Amino acid sequence: MNTILIIANLLVLFTFIIHTFGGDQNLREIEPDAESPNRLRIFWTMGRGAFHIVSIDFLFATIGLALINFTDFFEEPALLLNLLALYFLGYGIAFLTSLSISSKFPNIYLKMWQWLLMFVIAGLIFWGNS
């Protein structure tokens, strides 16, 4: 058993749970009223849908890592781990880029720390695959 990959697996699982349920609760707090223009409701609904596409990404990454950690399901787990590490690195870069091009507020990079979480997960997977 690879402890580093198991830690990465648990971190992705917790990320999935918090993202899916906590994140959706936060999104519901900013849902436009029924009387709001359709345009705003459409944009909010598209954002919520995209948000939960990421939830499914976290779920599938959790399942993939669990299969690698606890079974011999994949013939080339090292290749898949490299892809997962790049995947989470890409998520981190995309989130950090979004913060850098968005309107700033105090401590934006600390309050919106998800970019760092993605880099940590990518690093753990890469390290565990070494």
DSSP output for 79-101: HHHHHHHHHHHHHHHHHHHHHHH
Q: What pLDDT digit, counting tens, does each position of 59-116 carry? A: 999 999 999 999 999 999 999 999 999 999 999 999 999 999 999 999 999 999 999 9
Model confidence at 33, in pLDDT bands (50, 70, 90)? Answer: very high
Q: Whole domain around residue 97: which residue ranges?
A: 3-129
Asked if the model's pLDDT at residue 1 lies above 90, the reply is: no
Question: How many domains does the chain contain in total?
Answer: 1
* Residue 7, token pair as written in the block: 């830690």
**Coil/strand/helix, residue 124:** helix
